[in-house]
């Protein structure tokens, strides 16, 4: 397998690059890897999530829902 090591600006290993042909072979052998691939959300999904976020913000403003710390919020992303 011809992996390429990806390093950050300080030379620390940050990840690996797997050629797509080899990635497809790995997915055939290990079906659980399919879950790791990013799936582009649909416009409807994005709009639904935005709607839910606006509702949550309204509840937070009214004091009916507790806000989480910014760092916790960013970690969820």
Over residues 36-64, mean pLDDT: 93
Would you say the pTM of this structure is higher than 0.75? no
Q: In terms of domains, do 48 and 62 share one? A: yes
Q: What pLDDT score does 34 carry? A: 85
Tell me: pLDDT of 16 over 80.
Answer: yes
Q: In terms of domains, do 51 and 33 share one? A: no
Over residues 9-35, mean pLDDT: 92
Structure tokens at 42: 């649909």
Q: In terms of domains, do 29 and 61 share one? A: no
Structure tokens at 40: 């582009």
Q: What pLDDT score does 72 carry? A: 86
Can you give the residue range of the structural domain that contains 59?
A: 40-77
Inter-residue contact 29 to 12 (CB < 8 Å): no
Inter-residue contact 5 to 13 (CB < 8 Å): yes
């Amino acid at each position: 397998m011809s992996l390429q090591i990806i390093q950050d600006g300080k030379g620390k290993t940050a990840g690996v690059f797997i050629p797509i042909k080899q990635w497809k072979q790995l997915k055939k052998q290990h079906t659980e890897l399919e879950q790791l691939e990013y799936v582009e959300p649909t416009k409807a999904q994005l709009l639904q999530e935005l709607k839910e976020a606006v509702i949550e913000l309204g509840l937070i403003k009214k004091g009916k829902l507790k806000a989480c710390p910014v760092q916790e919020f960013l970690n969820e992303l």
